[in-house]
Amino acid sequence: MELEQTLPEPITGYWDGGPKQRFRWSIVSEPIKDSKGYYVRVGSWSANYWFTVAVGKTVKSTLANARRSLRASHPNSEFKYIDTEPGYFEQQLIKHIKKGD
């Protein structure tokens, strides 16, 4: 599953190809534990940006945590979830959720 973000206006950043308006975010790490609980890294190669979010009860709720973080910096963005084949890190997250750590 991926989270697609569409901005109201194209923005420029540290990437090739000029201004962009649409970015796809996905889980890019296995669940990691710290003193506050489990978290994963979420990132987008097209945005050239990665950040951490708390693990939710499902993959979608984990991406919802990412959506809230992205909405804080770009409040007028539109978001939608896109079903994709689970990649390695998403499979690791699913296993972690099923184990119930």
pTM of the model: 0.92
pLDDT of residue 2 exceeding 70, the answer is yes
Residue 86 DSSP one-character state:
-
Domain that holds residue 56: 2-99
For residue 101, name the pLDDT band (cuts at 50, 70, 90): low
pLDDT digits (tens, 9 = 90+) for 5-63: 999 999 998 888 899 999 999 999 999 999 999 999 999 999 999 999 999 999 999 99
pLDDT for position 23: 97
Q: Domain tally for the chain?
A: 1
What CA–CA distances, in Å, run from 68 to 15, 39, 101?
24, 15, 24
CA distance 47 to 87: 19
Closest CA to 101 of 38, 52, 43: 38
Phi, psi at 75, each rounded to 5°: -65, -25
